[in-house]
Chains A and B, each alone.
Chain A
Amino acid sequence: MFTMNSKKTAIIEQCKNILLVVLVLSTILLLYFLWNDGAGAGFRIPGSGVSGNVEVIPVKSVLSPESIIVNFGAENYTSQTETASLWYGAEDGDAPSFMSAFMNFLAYDNIAVGAISKEDFEDVMRARSIRAEFSFAIPTDDFCDEFRLRRTAPLDAVDAFTCVAYSEASPESLFLCDKLNDSFFRLAMDGESDFKELIAFVETFDNESYYPLRTFSGVENDTLLPLNAPAAPAKLSYERSLNPYAAADAARIIKMTRAFFGNSFDFTRKITEGNGTTVYMYGYGEKVFVINRDGSFEYSAAATDSERGGAEALFDALTTALDFISSHSESGDERGLASKQIYLKDVRYSFTDGRRTYGFLFGVKINGYKVYYANSEPLFVEVTGSRVNYYKIDMIDGFLNGADAPAEKAFAPFDILTEHFAYIYDVLSAKELIPSVDGVSDEEAVFEKTASMVSGLSYGLLRPDESSLVRRALHDVRGDEVFEQNLSPVWVMTVGGIDFCFDIYSGAPAGYME
């Protein structure tokens, strides 16, 4: 009896085991049906988007003053154009920096803010002083938020600034100016600032001496010119970073184009125009990517309802632009954007559908020299809210033509004006940008008028207008036909809002950019 019961129990247990296995398997099967059908019911086109680890360009690497000008007194100036380390401070040292001095100044309580006149500002800056100048206006509250500077209520009076300045003539003060709108503010506190130390620190550098133009010419103009010509840069040739006419770049161009459309790239409309332009279009103009015949690349996107939100602060928009550049350039490629130094050259403010829109114009430096494009710009990104609605890139790579810098001396900067003032006057006159001089033969009057309108001098490399180049049967290492293209070292003198280029060795005019 006991044996029979035990046998029956064993059979029941055996059945339970089998049932358990069947139930486990059926659970797995049912889960598979439910999950698999929901998640992978065939390939559907996802929206664009770039995944993967992309090294994002930090704000600090593109934003620093265009120049930091120090007046050591007695009209002896210097101008620093490589400003990042002096502005932010060296990463691994305790050396004084403009930002730390600025931060410490704003940390004081009871800061008083008052408007002053342009003349008062210029007077005070004639004493031993330092000023950092940007080429565009930065909203004060956005700047303070981004760099965690203390923002007290009186600071609200200063909407934006292009220049931060300190003078030992008024050591308790700091000056914030928006030179584009002729507004000048004095911030005063009762304490010691670190700027005096900063000026002394800059004085220890091997500085290039600059003097106001009036010292050279007698014409009333405070624009600074270097006393001596700098060492001429080594000669460089260049190529487009991505050349739509080079077969060797085809795969890289497809890779970049794919980054704009994500997986939907395979289902975009491709239009090839008779003039060599190629257009990729997704949806009904929702996203358009154009490979222009001049070798530039252009992207535009229409706003979708889900993209209409987003912050409106300058630095949020700049971060959006930099994220976009990072994820849509060829990072990881030694010839790509990462290997070059881009910098923020201008910010253009506008409104789209009632929302603030930022146009970020980036310049490029090769071998530390600014590259001036004769008829285009290296990189432009337009951001509304958290969305990039326009992007254009026309990037180049520079290559050394021989290892050594030429022995030729650079042309003295002031001599450019004395030799070519008539040429400058003629161009400005034709554009009605300069008051006419009675009797154009009156050279002295023409010189004075022209010299009084000079507002800047810098040097860099000029990328010529390629349409004027003669196509030659040259071939690069990859066998592609290329232009013989050189970056010409030039002086760039800004007069009446026009940048006039002059060959840095001969001083000969090399065109102008409006």
Chain B
Amino acid sequence: MDWTKAKNILIAALLVTNIVLLGAYVLRETRRADADNDATLRRILTEYNVFLETEMPRQPAPMAVLYVQPETEDGARVEKALEEQKPISNASREAMLDAANDILESCGFITENTKSPAQFETDGEKTLIRYRNIFDDIPIEESYIICTIEGGRVAALNRKWYTPLELHDKKGEIIGPTEALMQLLPEKPEEETIIIRGMELVYRVDPDRPGGESPVGDTALPAWKITDSKGSVVYIAAYAQ
């Protein structure tokens, strides 16, 4: 057998194979990079009349489901705390926040997830102080405490709260922001213009559920929260299917 000739043929064959494989790899990586490219995405979205006016979040790490306990309001305790509060000394935000924190403290509503500084909203004579529920740096959506300041005191306290219990021990891959935004497109009327002002990864307890009983335990699943310029919010289930 002519080994020299055989080696030459083998080298030639392997070189061709390597070139083909390398070409396929580079092509795929280029396409992937293109797809993830912010500019490319913005261009595609623009074609559908969707304009991105916010930073694109990064591709998140895999996440587990979060088991939560829906809290029921202890009306009597809240009433008592509101009755026993001291008047707010001045109309500064700090004073209002201190008063709201005092009420929450006396009701036992302050936990490690009750995030302050809270958001302030003004509604005529009223000032609303909104607290978010944040677990592991990820907000639990539609879980909040709103203190209404009116007439120099905390006039009302509105609370919808999910206490985080534990994370499941298995994590699932999360779709990237690009894939989440793409999922908006099929549902969108062609002529409608959407300006996206915010996009963040959240935990969400879907309000729709079977059965009529009040749950004592529920599950928050990862979701992409997309907010448009009108304040409308869309949630996209974030687990990769």
Residues of chain A touching chain B, judged by Cβ–Cβ distance below 8 Å, are 13, 16-17, 19-20, 23-24, 26-27, 30-31, 33-34, 37, 42-45, 47, 266-275, 277, 279, 281, 283-285, 288, 290
The complex places the Cα of A277 from the Cα of B25 at a distance, in Å, of 51
Tell me the interface secondary structure of chain A in the complex: mixed
Which residues of B194-209 have CB atoms within 8 Å of chain A's CB atoms?
206, 208-209
Q: Across the interface, do A267 and B239 meet the contact criterion of CB distance under 8 Å?
A: yes
Known: A271-B219, A279-B211, A281-B209. A20 touches B7 (CB 8 A): yes
Tell me the interface secondary structure of chain B in the complex: mixed
* Other-chain contact of A16, B7, B62, B216, B239 (Cβ < 8 Å): B7
Give the shortest distance, in Å, between A172 (CB) and chain B (any CB): 58
B230 at the interface (CB under 8 A from A): no
Q: Across the interface, do A16 and B217 meet the contact criterion of CB distance under 8 Å?
A: no
B21 at the interface (CB under 8 A from A): yes
Interface 1/0 per residue, B1-30 and A, CB below 8 Å: 001100110110011011001101100100
* Other-chain contact of A279, B17, B18, B208, B209 (Cβ < 8 Å): B209
- Which stretch from B38-46, B101-109, B168-176 is at the chain A interface? B168-176
The listed residue with most B CB atoms (<10 A of its CB), out of A272, A277, A283, A288, is A272
Known: A26-B18, A288-B210. A43 touches B173 (CB 8 A): yes
Q: Across the interface, do A266 and B22 meet the contact criterion of CB distance under 8 Å?
A: no
Give the shortest distance, in Å, between B226 (CB) and chain A (any CB): 17
Q: Across the interface, do B208 and A19 meet the contact criterion of CB distance under 8 Å?
A: no
The complex places the Cα of A279 from the Cα of B67 at a distance, in Å, of 13
Chain A residues near B210 (CB-CB < 8 A) = 279, 281, 285, 288, 290
The complex places the Cα of A275 from the Cα of B214 at a distance, in Å, of 9
- 11 sampled A-B residue pairs with Cβ under 8 A: A13-B4, A23-B15, A27-B14, A34-B24, A44-B241, A45-B239, A267-B168, A272-B215, A273-B213, A273-B216, A279-B211
Nearest CB to that of B241 among chain A residues? A45
Total of A-B residue pairs, C-beta within 8 Å: 109
Residues of chain B touching chain A, judged by Cβ–Cβ distance below 8 Å, are 3-4, 7-8, 10-11, 14-15, 17-18, 21-22, 24-25, 28, 62, 64-65, 67, 168, 170-173, 206, 208-211, 213-219, 221, 237, 239-241
The listed residue with most B CB atoms (<10 A of its CB), out of A266, A271, A279, is A271
Q: Across the interface, do B216 and A267 meet the contact criterion of CB distance under 8 Å?
A: no
Chain A residues near B170 (CB-CB < 8 A) = 266-267
Q: Across the interface, do B214 and A16 meet the contact criterion of CB distance under 8 Å?
A: no
Nearest CB to that of A274 among chain B residues? B216
Q: Across the interface, do B10 and A273 meet the contact criterion of CB distance under 8 Å?
A: no
The complex places the Cα of A105 from the Cα of B24 at a distance, in Å, of 66
The complex places the Cα of A268 from the Cα of B64 at a distance, in Å, of 10
Q: Across the interface, do A273 and B211 meet the contact criterion of CB distance under 8 Å?
A: yes
A-B pairs with the 7 shortest C-beta distances?
A272-B217, A23-B14, A30-B21, A273-B213, A266-B170, A269-B219, A44-B240
Q: Across the interface, do A269 and B221 meet the contact criterion of CB distance under 8 Å?
A: yes
Chain B residues near A267 (CB-CB < 8 A) = 65, 168, 170, 172, 221, 239
Give the shortest distance, in Å, between A425 (CB) and chain B (any CB): 39
Q: Across the interface, do A284 and B219 meet the contact criterion of CB distance under 8 Å?
A: no
Chain A residues near B25 (CB-CB < 8 A) = 30, 33-34
The complex places the Cα of A268 from the Cα of B173 at a distance, in Å, of 14
The complex places the Cα of A26 from the Cα of B21 at a distance, in Å, of 10
Chain A residues near B62 (CB-CB < 8 A) = 42-43
Give the shortest distance, in Å, between A491 (CB) and chain B (any CB): 39
The complex places the Cα of A37 from the Cα of B25 at a distance, in Å, of 10
Known: A30-B21, A267-B65. A284 touches B211 (CB 8 A): no
Q: Across the interface, do B240 and A45 meet the contact criterion of CB distance under 8 Å?
A: yes
Q: A13-B7, A45-B240 are in contact. List 8 more A-B contacts (CB 8 A).
A: A30-B21, A45-B241, A267-B65, A268-B65, A270-B218, A271-B219, A273-B214, A274-B215
